[in-house]
Amino acid sequence: MSDKGPNLPPPQNGRNPRLPGAKGEGGMPRWAILLVSAVVITLLVVAISGGAATTSNEISYDEFLNKVDAGEVAEIKYNNATFEIEVITNSEPPETFRTFSLREIPDTTQEKLINSGIKISPNTNTGNVFTNTILPLFLPLGLIILFFWWLSRRQQSQMGGIMSVGRSKAKTYTTERPGTTFADVAGYAGVKREITEVVDFLKHPAKFGEIGARIPKGVLLVGPPGTGKTLIARAVAGEAGVPFMSVTGSDFMEMFVGVGASRVRDLFAEARKMGRAIIFIDEIDSIGRKRGAGLGGGHDEREQTLNQMLAEMDGFEATEGIVMMAATNRPDILDPALLRPGRFDRQVVVPLPELDDRKEILAVHTKHKKMGPDVDIDVIARGTPGMSGADLANLVNEAALFAVRHGQATITSTSFDQARDRVLIGIERESMVRSREELERTAYHEAGHALCAAALPSHDPVHKVTIIPTGMALGVTMTLPEGDRHKLEQQEAEDRIVMALGGRNAERIVFGEVSSGASDDLRQATQMARRMVTEWGMSDAIGPMSLGDNGPVFLGDGGMTSKEYSERTSELIDTETRRILMEMEARCAELLNTKRGALNLIARSLLEHETVSGDEVDRLIALAEENPSAASIEPETVDEVGGSTTNGGEELSGAMVQDATENG
């Protein structure tokens, strides 16, 4: 399923918080900050320019009088405010000097100037009134006023945040921005058909009302993680043609008591103002858990939020025209009152995609990528059973990363194979150093798994076998089903146990002892055998009884209760589980002893090439059946086998097979 990013609507106030004019983090408009900065800079420039000194030379008052006596002065300019005298000489070119007199020029000096014919230009300059008087007075006062205004704005914003804590945090999507549509949702035709019915009701309510049909008030999308439940909800927002309000379950919870219920009331109040609307709650299990399952009793904040939601959906007041949608991957823990008719009375299952759905999803994700000519979407879809839409999107992205890493111009089928291995079994640890003995034991261990999987008729075919450390394992045997499977027969379950025990039994047959490398195999085999006994009724001693515990495990919902069967039945379950495991181990040992030649050939191929394909495993098994003498090849004598002409270690050459059979 395509998983495009959400098309978020513009803020309801019509302003982009990243544009000029939006409020800053402190609550002060950015234009105000810029304006204040410009005013301060301007005032500083004016003050500096107003008080700047002249560039003339400065002389003493005595030197000034001497120049007057010598007849070198032609004109003086006297400033009554600063007592500065600007002296202009009668030389060519005229020179300018400045000096400072006493508070007033003495009368004798004035007479001397007049008698000497010196031009006197008095200048009663009181200076810059703004910078000398107003600025020193009002600048500190203005800064104090600005600080208190900013402080009051912050307090108002904080108080406003506290007062609006009960407001709904839902995002409203309008019809002007449809965003995602059903065309962007690949596959899931049945799910889209049920959701389309709800959309049609909101668009054309009269068509349903003519025959008295009532649309479900609530639609619950149920499915595993990554299947696209939220994407389908976004598509409804694009198709509905009515306001769509989206909120997550965690948005209702806050540290204050009663906030969740208040937000629920505000959410439905806003929806009623719109007439017809869709309310979508993602991850509703965070607030919709069964009541009485916590430690807070009836006063628990989560329970109060749930109670308010139940009353708003189908309480005393009608909510006609409002359709609730919700998504969860844990429907088993939801409160029964939430799922009854009149509330979430329709559950739409969004399962893991089938083969055809995976093809459509892969086509969407590979649409805008450079794909190589050898890439077959059908083959990739068949090789990815059980993957969700999110897994497929990650697979395509990993394939693109592998292509870039290897310097390829396009994404090839090899890139997809490497990406699938990376997603399913982890990254290869080629730098890990192991001894020859450990490599040999690992090769026989994986050869045992591969031989059992290939020889058992009901088991999935082998895709590849490798002894390169991958993830947390020293080696991996990968099997892929030929198609989608929805049930497991008893023969298939038993074959899976045999395959899981193949590595352990191969080590015992070849080396005479087992190792700790089979710990995960034993865990898988034990789980499968126990489920056969307790859940699937595949034990004659237990009979058609379901003794498994499939319910949710959390305090208040049976987590502290005793088992529903007796101790004798519990002992019988252990006995039957052990019986199945012992029988399958004996069957596995018999299979490996019978096909010992194939086991040796597969192990030798792994030691030489590290990775063997599933087709090569089938060919080696057929070769061992045609040449039974190959069963006598032991690990020490296998080293004498001839070389190989294979490319990449995927196939075993004919020359090597001939030498192996002859030496046997």
Residue ranges per structural domain of the chain: 57-127, 171-349, 357-424, 436-551+564-663
Please report which confidence band the pLDDT of residue 532 belongs to, taking 50, 70 and 90 as the band edges: very high
User: Which of 69-78, 197-206, 239-248, 491-500 has the highest mean predicted lDDT (pLDDT)?
Assistant: 491-500
Alpha carbon distance 235, 226 (integer Å): 16
CA angle (291, 292, 293) in 5-degree steps:
90
CATH architecture assignment, domain 57-127? 2-Layer Sandwich (3.30)
What superfamily in CATH does domain 436-551+564-663 come from? Answer: Peptidase M41 (1.20.58.760)
The lowest-confidence range among 6-10, 359-363, 402-406, 417-421 is 6-10
Beta-strand pair 73-79/119-123: parallel
Taken in order 366, 371, 376, 380, the sign of the CA dihedral is: negative
User: Tell me, what's the pLDDT at 347?
Assistant: 84
Are the CB atoms for 416 and 473 separated by under 8 Å?
no
- Of 658, 604, 659, 606, which Cα lies nearest the Cα of 634? 604
Among residues 446, 507, 576, 651, the one annotated as catalytic is 446
Q: What is the mean pLDDT of residues 21-36?
A: 58
For 276-310, the pLDDT digits (tens) are 778 888 888 888 888 765 544 445 677 777 888 88
Q: How confident is the model at residue 462 (pLDDT cuts 50, 70, 90)?
A: confident
Q: 357-424 adopts what CATH topology?
A: Helicase, Ruva Protein; domain 3 (1.10.8)
The reported pLDDT for the residue numbered 557 is: 47
Beta bridge partners of 176: none
For the chain, percent of residues with pLDDT exceeding 70 = 73
Q: Crossing angle for the helix pair 490-500 and 436-455, nearest 10 degrees?
A: 170
535 in catalytic set: no
CATH H-level superfamily of 171-349: P-loop containing nucleotide triphosphate hydrolases (3.40.50.300)
